[in-house]
């Protein structure tokens, strides 16, 4: 029941944008009494884009605004050749410490670690300027619409990493990875990263792994450790344990495979720790599943060694599962309520485990006490030393 509730919560998260709603762009104003016919509140990094498209000559006037510290930088780009960073033609705004003003450069991005320099773009730029006011940069530009294609692949970025006075890298997590869109200059509609299949698959990957590795695996361990103590639960606890862990494994492998697919599509973006822990989880969990086929009978002298292996690997899987789930939260960066919901679930499982630990120890100790008493008195009232015992009424 608990994992079902948690699954419903996370599924609703997967159908939502992973970022907070941007402010309404229509209320923004610009210096020089600049006016634009269309605007779009971009879904990431708090940015907005304003533009006026001139169909007669295939040009567009653009104003891109994004919040950032005065020591950081922002960028907006059009990618004429595809989606994403590689191939993007970018406008970058950053502080010029020597002039005490804002500098705007144009540069073409051909790698994920480019050397930023001011250069011509693959299309004509008729004007460019930038300013910093009220905690935000604004980039102004008039440019040729590449191939006069009114559906443009746009990318935007923000960072505080500057080296030798020039922008130098940005975060590869959360909003900084998702900040790309396909913008229709005529209708104003933007198909954001939250709407495209990749972001949707990233959310599904997170949901599948959080529910399977992060919740169902610990629940399966709790079932095995505590329900087996109660004689009335035998052998139901065993089948519940197997059903829970096998289900978690199947769902988890699905999420793991989707993660590998997403990784292969994200050239230049590698989350090493998350990836390595995910691979380790898959290998250890697979060993656990196949170990069931080699499970010795209870009377087998090797059963104790199998139990030691099964328990140690199982607890290691649970620890890695929870740690890697939190690592996934740091990568996806969803709204804080989802991370808080997962923390509350883990805390609840820990409380349940502690309560059951106390209860089961009390049951075991009581059972041992009764067994010891029977052994001491013997079935015929003679103790271990052969002395007749008398019961006082």
Asked whether 289 and 246 are in contact (CB, 8 A), the reply is: yes
pTM passes above 0.75 = no
Round to whole Å and give the CA distance between 249 and 252: 5
Place of tokens 């929870």: 322
| pLDDT given at position 128 | 94
How is 78-147 classified by DSSP, letter by letter?
A: EESSSSSSTT-EEEEEEEETTTTEEEEEEEE--SSS--------SS-EEEEEEEEETTEEEEEEEEEPGG
User: Residue 71 contacts by C-beta under 8 Å, 6 or more apart in sequence?
Assistant: 95, 160, 162
Query: 177-211: per-residue pLDDT in tens?
Result: 778 888 888 766 666 544 456 667 888 999 999 99
Query: 125-153: per-residue pLDDT in tens?
Result: 999 999 999 999 999 999 998 887 888 88
271, 336, 327, 259: which is closest to 19 by C-alpha? 336
The 8-class DSSP code of residue 307 comes to H
Asked whether 281 and 252 are in contact (CB, 8 A), the reply is: yes
| pLDDT given at position 199 | 67
pLDDT in tens for each of the 393 residues of the chain? 444 444 445 445 444 443 433 347 878 899 988 999 888 888 888 999 999 999 889 899 999 999 999 999 999 999 988 777 888 999 999 998 776 789 999 999 888 878 888 999 999 999 999 999 999 999 999 999 888 788 888 999 999 988 888 888 888 777 787 788 888 887 666 665 444 566 678 889 999 999 999 999 999 999 999 998 898 888 899 999 999 999 999 999 999 999 888 888 776 667 889 999 999 999 999 998 888 888 888 888 889 999 999 999 999 999 999 999 999 888 877 778 888 999 999 999 999 999 999 999 998 888 888 877 776 665 554 444 444 444 433
244, 242, 237, 241: which is closest to 360 by C-alpha? 237
| pLDDT given at position 115 | 81
Q: Three-state DSSP class for 155? A: strand
Round to whole Å and give the CA distance between 77 and 120: 13
Interior/surface letters 245-265, b for 16+ CB within 10 angstroms, e for the rest: beebbebbbebbebbeebbee
Here the tokens at position 360 are 């089961």
| pLDDT given at position 319 | 94
Asked whether 104 and 128 are in contact (CB, 8 A), the reply is: yes
| pLDDT given at position 151 | 83
- Residue 134, classified by CB atoms within 10 Å of its CB into exposed (0-12), middle (13-18) or buried (19+), is exposed
């Amino acid at each position: 029941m608990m994992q079902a509730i948690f699954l419903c919560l996370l599924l609703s998260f997967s159908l939502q944008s992973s970022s907070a709603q941007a402010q309404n762009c229509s209320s923004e104003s610009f210096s020089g009494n600049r006016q634009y016919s269309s605007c779009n509140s971009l879904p990431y990094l708090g940015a907005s884009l304003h533009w006026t498209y001139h169909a007669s000559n295939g040009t567009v006037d653009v104003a891109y605004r994004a919040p950032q510290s005065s020591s950081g930088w922002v960028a907006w780009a059009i990618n004429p050749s595809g989606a994403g960073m590689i191939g993007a033609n970018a406008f970058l705004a950053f502080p010029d410490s020597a002039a005490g003003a804002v500098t705007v450069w144009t540069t073409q991005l051909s790698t994920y670690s480019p050397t930023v320099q001011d250069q011509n773009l693959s299309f004509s730029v008729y004007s460019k300027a930038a300013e910093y006011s009220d905690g935000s940069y604004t980039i102004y530009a008039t440019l040729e619409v590449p191939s006069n294609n009114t559906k443009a692949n746009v990318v935007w970025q923000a960072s505080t990493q500057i080296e030798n006075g020039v922008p130098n890298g940005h975060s590869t997590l959360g909003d900084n990875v998702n900040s790309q869109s396909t913008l229709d200059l005529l209708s104003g509609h933007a198909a954001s990263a939250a709407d495209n299949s990749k972001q949707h698959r990233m959310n599904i990957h997170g949901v599948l792994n959080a529910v399977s590795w992060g919740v169902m695996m610990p629940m399966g361990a709790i079932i095995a450790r505590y329900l087996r103590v109660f004689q009335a639960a035998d052998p139901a606890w065993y089948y519940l344990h197997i059903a829970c862990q096998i289900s978690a494994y199947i769902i988890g492998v699905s999420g793991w495979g989707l993660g590998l697919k997403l990784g292969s599509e994200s050239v230049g973006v590698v989350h090493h720790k998350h990836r390595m822990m995910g691979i380790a989880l898959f290998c250890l969990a697979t060993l656990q599943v196949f170990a069931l086929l080699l499970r010795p009978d209870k009377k087998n002298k090797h059963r104790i060694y199998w139990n030691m292996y099964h328990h140690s690997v199982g607890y290691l899987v649970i620890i890695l599962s929870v740690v890697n789930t939190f690592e996934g939260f740091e990568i996806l960066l969803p709204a804080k309520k989802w991370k808080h919901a997962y923390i509350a679930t883990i805390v609840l499982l820990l409380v349940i485990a502690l309560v059951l630990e106390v209860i089961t120890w009390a049951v075991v100790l009581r059972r041992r006490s009764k067994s010891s008493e029977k052994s001491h008195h013997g079935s015929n009232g003679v103790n271990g030393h052969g002395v007749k015992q008398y019961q006082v009424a």
